[in-house]
Amino acid sequence: MLTSLQIKNFAIVSELNIDWRTGMTAITGETGAGKSIAIDALSLCLGERADANAIRPQSSKAEISAQFDIRSLPQAQKFLSELLLDDDEQNCILRRVITRNGRSKSFINGSSVTAAQLKELGQMLIAIHGQHAHQLLLKPEHQLGLLDAYAGHHNLLSAVKAQYNHYQKLQKEHTHLIKQQQAQAAKKQLLEYQVEELDEFALQAGEYEQIEAEHNRLSHSQTLVESCQRELMSLYEQDDQTVLGQLQHSVQTFSELSSLDKSLEGISMMLNEAAVQLEEACREIRSYGESVEQDPLRLQEIEERITQAMALSRKHQIQPDQLAAHHTALKLELDGICSDNARIDHLEHEIAEALHAYHISANQLSESRAISADKLNTLITESMHELSMENGRFAIELVKENDRRPNELGMDSIDFLVSTNPGQPMQPLAKVASGGELSRISLAIQVIIANKVTTPTLIFDEVDVGISGPTASQVGKQLRLLGGSTQVICVTHLPQVACSGHQQFFVKKDVDNDQTYTSMVPLDENKRIDEIARLLGGDSVSETTRASAKELLTVQRCA
C-alpha cells in the first residue's frame, strides 16, 4: 500500500508531504484548487510520460517521491529482487525527477532505472481509475480488457499471445522468402546457366596453373632439348676440353699439391665435391633431355583449354586462375536460392501447425471468457439495481469469430449491452445509456473488477461525475466496503462519497505575492463536518448544513 507521497515544485505545488493510511481516503477541495494534483504527481512517479510544463514556474525541476509497504506483495518483491533493487523487504521508494529540458530521471530504492521499469513496477502497486473511464467503456478493446481482468486468466492470455507471435514470425519469414524468391527468379536463371557452363568446363582448383606450366613446357620443348644437348656436350661429352675434364684435372693438381702443403687439402676436397656434383648434374640433364615430350596433339589440346578458360574469365570479369573458386561460389549461391524454395515449402507446413496451435489456445480463452462473462453479467446487473437503476439489465455479447484474422487477443469480438427501462431491448451501451447511467455502470464495473484484481491500492479520480442523491450514497457505500479489503483513495465532489471515507483530506489554494500555492491537509472530525457542510450547501456553511453533514457522516459510516 501507499504510505507516503512527497511532491516538490510540481504544477502549483511548491512542497507537499502526505502520509496515507489504510481503508478509504476521500479527497475534496475547492474548485480549481487541484484536487487531482496528488494523483497526477503520483502517476508521474509511477512512470507516466514526463512533461516539462508540469514543473512549477520559476523552478528548475520537479521531484516526486512515493513510498510503499510491499510486505504482502510477492510479485513486486520478485521484480525488485530480479533487478537487484530489494534493499528493504518492507518498503519500496519510487522517485521521479523532471528537468526544464524535458528530460527525466527515474529511481527505485535510490538506484537509477528506466521509466519503463518504473511503470512496470507501478502497475503492481496501484491501479488508477480516471474520470474518463466511462468514455473508455464504449471501446471494444477496453471492454475486452475489463472482462479479461475480471476473469484473471493471465496464463491463457499469455499462451494466445505466444502462439500468435510465433505464427506472425513464421508468416513474416514466409512473406520475406516469397518476395526474395520473386526478386531472385531472373538471377536464378542466370546462375543456372553460368553454373551449367562452368560444370561443363569443369576446371579444377589449381588446374589452370598446371596446364599453363605444361603449355610452356610443350611449346618450348625443342628449345629445351637442344639446349640440354648443347650444354651436356660442353660439360661432359666432348672429346676434349669439357668442363668436367678441366675440373677433374684441377682436382688432381691440388691433390698432389696438398701433399706438399696441408693447407691446400680443403681446396682439393671442395674441387672434388664440385666434380662429383657436376657429374650428377650432367646425368640429370641427360635424363631430362630424354624425357622432354614433343606432343603437338597434347599442345593443341592444352591451348584450346587455356583459350576457353581465358574466354570464360573475361565473361565473368576475373582472372583465369580464379575460375575454379568462382565456380564454387556460384554453386553455393544457387544452392542457397534452391534451399530457400525448400524452406518455403517447410514453412507452409509450420504455419499450418502454428495456426492450429493458436486456435486451440484461442478457443480455451474464449471458453474462459464466456464463463466469466456470465458471472459478470449478474454482478453488474445487481450493481445497477443498487445504483438506482432498478430495471436495468446488463449483458456481455461475446462472439467467437473462427474466420477472424489471428491477433494476440484471440478470436472474440465483444459488445456491452444494456437495457435501462422495462420492455426496452438489450442494445449496445453507446446507444441507450445516458451520461449519468454510463458513469454509474462504469463505476459498478470498476468496483467489481477492483474486488477481483488484487491491486493493493486503488485510486478513483472523480469517477462519480454525473451522479447524485441516493445513487451517490450507494457509490460511497460500495467504495467504503471496498476500502475494507484494500487501500482506496477517492477524489470526489460529492458529500455522500466523501462521508464514506475512513479519513478525508482537504485541498485548498492560496495566493501569496502573486504566487499560487496548493496545500492538502487531513481533516479532524470538526473540520470534516465543516467540509461536508460546504459540499452540501456550497460556500455558505450554516448550522443546518453542519447538522446535515454530521448526520450524513453517521449514516455513511454505519452503512
- Element (DSSP H or E) covering residue 281: helix 265-291
Query: 69-85 burial, b if ≥16 CB within 10 A, otherwise e?
Result: bbeebeebbebbeeeeb
- 219 and 322, same structural domain? yes
Whether 212 maps to a domain, the answer reads yes
Position with higher pLDDT, 209 vs 443: 209
End residue of a domain, out of 318, 336, 354: 336
With respect to residue 539, please indicate whether it lies within any of the assigned structural domains. no
Shared-domain flag, residues 2 and 120: yes
Whether residue 63 is contained in a domain is answered as yes
Same domain, 124 and 254: no
Residue, of 263 and 131, whose pLDDT is higher? 263
Calpha distance 184→194 (Å, rounded): 15
Neighbouring residues of 375: CB distance < 8 A, sequence distance ≥ 6? 150
Task: Give the residue-averaged pLDDT of 241-253.
Answer: 84
Q: Taking 80 as the threshold, does the pLDDT of residue 241 lie above it?
A: no
pLDDT in tens, 340-369: 567 778 888 899 999 999 999 999 999 999
Specify the 3-state DSSP secondary structure of 285. helix
191 against 254, higher pLDDT = 254
Give yes or no: residues 195 and 321 share one domain: yes
Identify any residues that bridge with 5 across adjacent strands, giving them in sequence order.
18, 66
Q: In the structure, what pLDDT confidence band is assigned to residue 238 with cuts at 50, 70 and 90?
A: low
Question: Looking at the domain assignment, is residue 6 inside a domain?
Answer: yes
Q: Give 5-54 pLDDT, tens digit per residue.
A: 999 999 888 888 999 999 999 999 877 777 788 888 888 898 888 788 88
Q: pLDDT by residue (tens digit) across 153-179?
A: 999 999 999 999 999 999 998 888 787
**Count of domains forming the chain:** 2
Contacts of 257 (CB under 8 A, 6+ apart): 264, 268
230/92 same-domain check:
no
Residue 463, pLDDT score: 67
Does position 482 have pLDDT exceeding 60, yes or no?
yes
pLDDT for 239 equals 60
Higher per-residue confidence, 313 vs 21: 21
* pLDDT at residue 556 in the model: 76
| 480 occurs within a structural domain | yes
pLDDT tens track for 403-425: 888 999 999 999 999 988 888 88
Predicted local distance difference test score (pLDDT) of residue 372: 95
Same-domain pairing of 108 and 208: no
How far apart are the C-alpha atoms of 133 and 435, rounded to whole Å? 12
Kindly report the three-state secondary structure assignment for every residue of 67-119: EEECCCCHHHHHHHHHCCCCCCCCEEEEEEEEECCCCEEEEECCEEECHHHHH
Task: Determine the pLDDT at residue 240.
Answer: 62
Does residue 307 surpass a pLDDT of 70?
Answer: yes
Q: Which of 295, 292, 301 is nearest to 211 (CA)?
A: 301
pLDDT at 434: 67
Q: Would you place residue 270 in the very low, low, confident or very high pLDDT band (cuts 50, 70, 90)?
A: very high
Higher pLDDT, 218 or 240: 218
> Is 133's pLDDT higher than 60?
no
pLDDT of residue 559: 60
Same domain as 194, residue 126: no
Q: Please report where in the chains the cell 479519513 appears, as a residue.
A: 503
**Do residues 210 and 328 both lie within one domain?**
yes
Domain identity same for 194 and 321: yes
Domain match, 203 and 125 both: no
Residue ranges in 387-541 assigned as alpha helix (H)? 429-432, 435-452, 469-483, 495-499, 525-537
Q: What is the CATH number of the domain that holds 96?
A: 3.40.50.300
Residues 224 and 92 occupy one common structural domain:
no
CA dist 302 and 296 (Å) reads: 10
State residue 502's pLDDT score: 93
Confidence of residue 183 (pLDDT cuts 50, 70, 90): low
Return all residues near 151 (Cβ < 8 A) that are at least 6 apart: 368, 369, 371, 372
- Verify that 205 and 93 share a domain, yes or no: no
The pLDDT of residue 171: 92
Structural domain harbouring 285 = 186-336
- More confident call, 548 vs 195: 548
The count of C-alpha atoms lying within 13 angstroms of the C-alpha of 266, restricted to the half-sphere facing its C-beta, is 1
Does residue 539 or residue 76 have the better pLDDT? 76
pLDDT at 230 over 90: no
What is the reported pLDDT for 147?
92
Q: 354, 163 in Cβ contact below 8 A? A: yes
Confidence of residue 132 (pLDDT cuts 50, 70, 90): low
Q: How far apart are CA 536 and CA 552, in angstroms?
A: 10
Residues in CB range of 337: below 8 A, 6 or more apart: 181, 184, 187, 188, 191
Q: Could you read off the pLDDT of 486-542 as tens digits, one per residue?
A: 899 999 888 999 999 999 999 988 877 777 778 889 999 999 999 999 888 876 788
Return the pLDDT at 245.
82
The whole-number pLDDT of residue 435 equals 67
Position 249 scores a pLDDT of 86
Task: Indicate whether 295 pLDDT > 70.
Answer: yes
Identify whether 269 is part of a domain.
yes
Considering the chain, what is the average pLDDT of its residues? 85
Whole-number pLDDT of residue 498: 92
290: confidence class by pLDDT, cuts 50, 70, 90: confident
Structure confidence by residue, pLDDT tens digits, 448-465: 877 776 678 888 887 666
Residue 541 within any structural domain of the chain: no
Note whether residue 150 is domain-resident.
no
Q: What percent of the chain has pLDDT over 70?
A: 93
In sequence order, which residues have a C-beta less than 8 Å from that of residue 189 and are 6 or more positions away? none
